[in-house]
Structure 1
Amino acid sequence: MEISAGGRLEVAITAADVGKRVSVRSLIEHAAPGEKFTDTVGVLTSWDSGVLLITRRSGESVRIAESSLVAGKVVPAAPARRRGPAASYEELARVAARAWRSVESERLGDWELRAASGFTRRANSVLPLGEPGLPLDEALGAVRRWYDERGLPAYVQTATGAEGTQELLCAELEARGWVREVTAELWVGPLAPVADREEPSGVVLSREADEAWLARYQRKGVSEVALRVLGSGPSVWFATVPGATEGAAPAAIGRCVVDGRWAGFAAVEVDPALRRQGLGTAVMAALARRALDEGASAAWLQVEAENAGARELYAGMGFAAHHAYHHYRAPESGGTGR
């Protein structure tokens, strides 16, 4: 790691750089032979009592003793992305929120408190795009009261890994005992290559999630509130590949929300016995073609880190990770499904 112009290793960061993206090299304690140093890149979220806290793109927090630093520098706020449509974090966060709307919301400064009777964390969490208009502890107290009044656990949705994301807020929440329960990623890609995929006959598009579609949806016992969330968004489409026999659950389903230039894909699910036969791709292709007809040109979707099959599929379609997002639960609160 050549930090200075002359190629010398030096620590060129201070506590005044908290909030900036940095790259540091530090000594490894009890290192194995040949492994003397380790490099860490992320947002410097605190530097207190001789310890640096750096939040990586994934949301993982790394503690580094100041005494172990060998080199460090401030680096660009976000690495250059090599493929996919350009978009800011805030744009994507707002588009994603419009595609999965809560049934009740309230503003707290620039924060949006959202509730939907506990159906998914996304619809039952705070979206903090800006400042709450109160000191943080007061704001978090107001958040907890708001959700408590509705019999719901308090969650705050945050993001890391892109310009304008909330590494500092993540660190503040963790310092107050809030627990990160779920981490996933939002991926983006061009829409046309998805639409160009082969689409076998039989994919049925609808404006509503009918009984057949819900029979394949992974969340059973969907309530009226859940149906309202599923049907929310500027222009919502549902895709179904019928089952092989009459009355059978669909072979595959999917959902897409068209919002300006964006098409957001969700709930792409395939009968486990029929996976790796191109059904998920066919569903997305049919939805993408409809989205193109409505003027969309870019696509986004959300995928969990451990879903290797989905990540492989989406990467093959031209999608790439834009940022990671997380749900932090207030101390001593219960949980809901993602």
Structure 2
Amino acid sequence: MGLVEIASELIGERVALRYRIGDRDGRPLYTDAVGELRPDGPGAVLVETRRGPVRVDRAAVVAVRAVPPAPPRRAPLAAVTRLEALCADAWPAVVDRRLGAWRLRAADGFTGRANAGLAIGDPGMPVPAALDAVRAFAGEHGIRPRVQVPAGSPWDKAVAAEGWGLDVAHERGAEVAVLVAPLQGTHDPRVELPERPSDGWWRLGLGDLPTAAQRHVLDPGGDPRTAFGQIAGPDGTVIGCVRATVVEDHLHMSVLEVAPAARRQGLATALLASAAEWGSGHGARWAVLQVALHNTGAMALYDRLGYVEHHQYRYLVPPTG
């Protein structure tokens, strides 16, 4: 089998391709390109490398082989810190007290995000003292001491080094993926996007009307940067809901729920697409959402919609005993 035939068979695959680029002192010179292989007319191929497309004449190819997918790039720490701060702003705790670059948050126990110390920088004191402050803050507000840290970050390692471990008792999941996607979508006529949640939105999203803390976290009181998307069934009952909040250039998606009897009808996709169009009109460029790693159904949905993992975070709690 010739090299051109091999290249044709590998179209669409990630390959390592060696090709001739000229001669020096009577000897041939070669270089390599690694990336997804694409056709480019009858006489050439494109290799979509991380630095951009590379066009190669088929006659210049001397070797080509399939290679495994590239490992995902780790987001820069500055980008992780910024996105964590934006997500925290989109999910405002009742109490949000600064401790250097850390944020001590409490919301009467409603969600881990709003009831954990967010460790994304220098707390302005040694880490053991900062963790003592987390404990004292938690005691003051009647919540469990807990720290939210980007996985693998210096703060994750520093807190773990003090004996704090994964919050395995966290019902919603102690390990979370932060997913992002370019903001694109079209409005579905079934979706309403009011600035305030209806009683039906609350009942589907939370299971009941909100407590004061839940209302504080989710409903900013008519802020035009937040929309409460909903779809009503034939009898007027809300059967799908989502919360969308613009924070700088991101649209934070949360509280995506579809009534069990209405699932597998594309309602979640319609809600997200409509929220995306709304967010674009309010200056956002990217969508961001947070989903527990064990929620494989949601992860599969977001993967189909083009979301990719930006980073992960996890909740750490002090040792028992």
Structure 1, residues 244-277: CA drift from partner, whole Å, max 9, x if none? Answer: 214x3x1100010112211111111001111111
Code of the residue aligned with 1:206 in structure 2: it is P
Counterpart selection for 2:117 from 109, 126, 132? 126
8 Å CA contact retained: 1:238, 1:255: yes
8 Å CA contact retained: 1:158, 1:327: yes
- Matches of 2:78 and 2:120 in 1, distance apart? 15
CA distance change for structure 1 residues 207 and 234 in 2, over 3 Å: closer, same or farther? closer
Could you tell me the percent identity over the aligned residues?
33
| TM-score w.r.t. length of structure 2 | 0.70
Unaligned runs of 5+ in 2: 1-70
How is 1:59-74 mapped onto 2 (pairs within 5 angstroms)? none
- Kindly tell me the number of residue pairs found equivalent between the two proteins: 244
8 Å CA contact retained: 2:258, 2:268: yes
1:242 aligns with 2:235: no
2:176 — aligned with what? 184
Counterpart selection for 1:298 from 266, 270, 286? 286
Q: CA deviation at 1:284?
A: 0.8
1:223 — aligned with what? 211
Counterpart selection for 2:301 from 310, 313, 316? 313
Code of the residue aligned with 2:313 in structure 1: it is Y
Q: CA deviation at 1:176?
A: 4.4
Structure 1, residues 176-203: CA drift from partner, whole Å, max 9, x if none? Answer: 46745411110011112xx14xx54221
8 Å CA contact retained: 2:244, 2:254: yes
8 Å CA contact retained: 1:89, 1:165: no
How is 1:273-284 mapped onto 2 (pairs within 5 angstroms)? 273-284=261-272
2:192 — aligned with what? 204
Code of the residue aligned with 1:295 in structure 2: it is G
CA distance change for structure 1 residues 186 and 317 in 2, over 3 Å: closer, same or farther? same
Counterpart selection for 1:259 from 234, 244, 247? 247
Q: Which moved further from structure 2: 292-301 or 230-239?
A: 230-239
In structure 1, the residue corresponding to 2:245 is in which secondary structure? Answer: strand
CA distance change for structure 1 residues 123 and 79 in 2, over 3 Å: closer, same or farther? same
CA distance change for structure 1 residues 238 and 177 in 2, over 3 Å: closer, same or farther? closer
Counterpart selection for 1:80 from 54, 57, 73? 73
Q: CA deviation at 1:328?
A: 1.6
- Matches of 1:81 and 1:179 in 2, distance apart? 24
Structure 1, residues 108-148: CA drift from partner, whole Å, max 9, x if none? Answer: 22211111111111111101121222222222112111110
- Matches of 2:157 and 2:197 in 1, distance apart? 39
- Matches of 1:91 and 1:302 in 2, distance apart? 15
Code of the residue aligned with 2:86 in structure 1: it is V
- Matches of 1:87 and 1:297 in 2, distance apart? 19
- Matches of 1:147 and 1:219 in 2, distance apart? 26
Structure 1, residues 294-318: CA drift from partner, whole Å, max 9, x if none? Answer: 1211111111112222111111111
Unaligned runs of 5+ in 1: 1-77, 334-338
8 Å CA contact retained: 2:166, 2:314: no
8 Å CA contact retained: 1:244, 1:251: no
1:100 — aligned with what? 91
Larger fraction in helix:
2
1:140 — aligned with what? 131
- Matches of 2:96 and 2:235 in 1, distance apart? 42
CA distance change for structure 1 residues 172 and 88 in 2, over 3 Å: closer, same or farther? same
- Matches of 1:269 and 1:141 in 2, distance apart? 37
| TM-score w.r.t. length of structure 1 | 0.66
8 Å CA contact retained: 1:203, 1:240: yes
- Matches of 2:218 and 2:164 in 1, distance apart? 33
8 Å CA contact retained: 1:178, 1:331: no
Q: CA deviation at 1:286?
A: 1.1
1:172 — aligned with what? 161
8 Å CA contact retained: 2:164, 2:317: no
CA distance change for structure 1 residues 319 and 94 in 2, over 3 Å: closer, same or farther? same
CA distance change for structure 1 residues 317 and 176 in 2, over 3 Å: closer, same or farther? closer
Instruction: Give the number of the structure whose alpha-carbon radius of gyration is greater.
Output: 2
8 Å CA contact retained: 2:164, 2:316: no
1:159 aligns with 2:156: no
8 Å CA contact retained: 2:74, 2:311: no
- Matches of 1:209 and 1:87 in 2, distance apart? 34
Q: Which moved further from structure 2: 149-158 or 229-238?
A: 229-238
CA distance change for structure 1 residues 292 and 129 in 2, over 3 Å: closer, same or farther? same
In structure 2, the residue corresponding to 1:326 is in which secondary structure? Answer: strand
